[in-house]
Amino acid sequence: MPKQHRAQLTRRAILTAAATEFDLVGYEAAALNAILRRSGTTKGAFYFHFSSKEAVAEALVADYAAGLAELRREWLERDRDPLSTAVGLTVEVARRLKQNVVLRAGLLLACRRVGAVTDGWDGLIDRLLHESAEADQLQPGADPAAVARVAYAALVGTHTVDPDFADLPERVAEAWRVLLAGVAREGELRL
C-alpha cells in the first residue's frame, strides 16, 4: 500500500474513533487513550497527524463543513426547483447526520463554537424560499422571509430536541410538511 494512502487510512481511523468516543461519552469526557484503543493506532501515529484532542475536534469540524459544502454544491448544481432543493437538501443532510458518526460529531462540535452554528444555512434557506416565491411555488401572500426564518428555527430545534439523531430525517421531512402545508402551492410539495 502506498505510504500516503496508508497515512490517510490512519487519519480516517483516528477521526472515526474520536467521533465515536465523543458520541458515547461527550467531548470533554473522551480520553485520548480510549480514542487510540478504538482506532487501533499507536501514540506515535496519532501525533504524526494531530497535536491534541482539540486538533482532532478542529479536523472533525473542518471535515463536516467541507462535506456539507460539497453536498450543497451538488444539490444546487442539480438545478431542481428551489422548493424541492430546500426540502431535499435538508432531508439529505439529516439522513447523512443519522448515518455518519463523523459528520454528526462535526456538527455537535461546530455548535459549541459561538457564531459557528449557522454555517450560512439561514442565508441559503432564505435564498431558496425567495426563489420559490419568484418561481410561483408559494401561495400568494406567503412571506418567504418569514417562512425561511421559521424553517431554519425548526431545523435547528429539531436536532436540539432529538440529540441522538435517530429520527432526524423523518423529523426534518415532517417539519417541512407541516410548515409548507399552508405556504406551498398545491402540488409543489412532494414529501
Find the angle CA(105)-CA(108)-CA(112) to the nearest 5 degrees. Answer: 135
Residue 174 as a binder of its own copies (CB under 8 A): the answer is: yes
Of residues 75, 84, 175, 188, which one binds its own copies by CB under 8 A?
175
Beta bridge partners of 138: 184
Stretch that binds its own copies, among 17-25, 46-54, 93-101, 139-147 (CB under 8 A): 139-147
Q: Which DSSP letter does residue 185 get?
A: P
Residue 157 as a binder of its own copies (CB under 8 A): the answer is: yes
Q: How far is the CB of 70 from its own copies (least distance, A)?
A: 24
**C-beta of residue 70 within 8 angstroms of C-beta of residue 96:** no
Q: Which residues are CB-neighbours of 89 under 8 A, at least 6 positions away? A: 71, 72, 75
CA distance 50 to 48: 6
Which positions from 78 through 137 interact with its own copies, judged by CB under 8 A?
A: 117-118, 122
Of residues 12, 96, 149, 185, which one binds its own copies by CB under 8 A?
149
Residue 24 as a binder of its own copies (CB under 8 A): the answer is: no
Q: How far is the CB of 136 from its own copies (least distance, A)?
A: 18
Q: How far is the CB of 142 from its own copies (least distance, A)?
A: 8
CA distances to 28, 32, 33, 46 from 37, rounded to whole Å, are 17, 9, 6, 11
Q: Would you tell me which residues interact with its own copies (CB under 8 A)?
A: 117-118, 122, 142, 146-147, 149-150, 152-158, 160-161, 171, 174-175, 177-183
